[in-house]
Each structure stands twice: as C-alpha cells, then as structure tokens.
Amino acid sequence: MYVDSNNYCRKAYKRVRVTREELRSTTVCQKENSFYVDTVRAFRDRRYKFKGLLKVWKKKLDAAKQEGDPAEIKRQEHSLHEILEGVKFGKLQNFGDWRALICCKNKEVLYDSLQLAHKCILNSFYGYVMRK
C-alpha cells in the first residue's frame, strides 16, 4: 500500500508546509555592529575616568604624606598591614593623618587596578574595532 507523505502529515498534524522567504542581513565584521563599537567607546571613556581619579588620589596621597611626619611615614611605609597594626595598637601618634593616608592609599590602589583592568580588556578589542 502506498501512502502519500504530504497527505499523511496534513491528516496527522493538521498542518500544511509553508515555505517562507525572508531577507536577512548578517554582520560578518563586528566593526559594523554599532552596539559593539559603542560598548568599546564607553569602556574607553570609563578607563579615562579611572585614570583621572587615579591622578586625583595620587595627589591626595602625596598631600597626606606631607602632612604627617616624614620620618615616621618612611619607617612605617613598608606595607599597609603594618600601618593598620600600628594604628590598632596605638603605636602611631597622629591617628587622623594615618587614617587619611590609608584611605588615600586604598583609593589609589583601587583606581589603578580598575584602569589597568580596563586597559587589558580594551587591548583585546580596541585595535580591531576602531581600525578603519
């Protein structure tokens, strides 16, 4: 017995095959994708913002170092952990200066890390996307 597959499908699934033609465009190169380009530009701008903040906090750190006793700062500057231990056990005389120094140092490290991370990520994409 011969069964026509088209009739069987119509009876079993109550569906008729519909052929559609669609025009689609593909983006082979990411440079043509505006979202990709805009994302890289936003990333670049954010890195510049972090670089600016890094400069600001470096200046504040230098100012905080000059306000404190230079000999004490040089002696205790080996690591942040030593500074914190000195503050905790009362070995340092001027607590306000040290708290400002620690805050400035933390911000400097934070913004340096952020701008460096953005730089590494941008190196992966920036040359490809922004090349003409």
Q: pLDDT digit string (tens) for 84-97?
A: 555 555 554 555 56
Spatial separation of the C-alpha atoms in residues 3 and 8, rounded to whole Å: 7
3-class secondary structure for 66-115?
HHCCHHHHHHHCCCHHHHHHHHHCCCCCCHHHHHHHHHHHHHHHHHHHHH
The pLDDT > 70 percentage for the chain reads: 59
Say which residue, 84 or 11, is predicted with more confidence. 11
CA distance 1 to 123: 68
Residue 20 reports pLDDT greater than 80: yes
Predicted confidence at residue 24, as pLDDT, reads 82
Query: Which residues are CB-neighbours of 20 under 8 A, at least 6 positions away?
Result: none
More confident call, 85 vs 22: 22
| Residue-wise pLDDT tens digits, 34-79 | 888 888 889 899 999 999 999 998 888 888 777 765 555 555 454 5
Average pLDDT, the chain: 74
Residue reference for tokens 């069987």: 8
pLDDT at position 26 over 70: yes
Which of 11-20, 83-92, 112-121 shows the highest mean pLDDT?
112-121
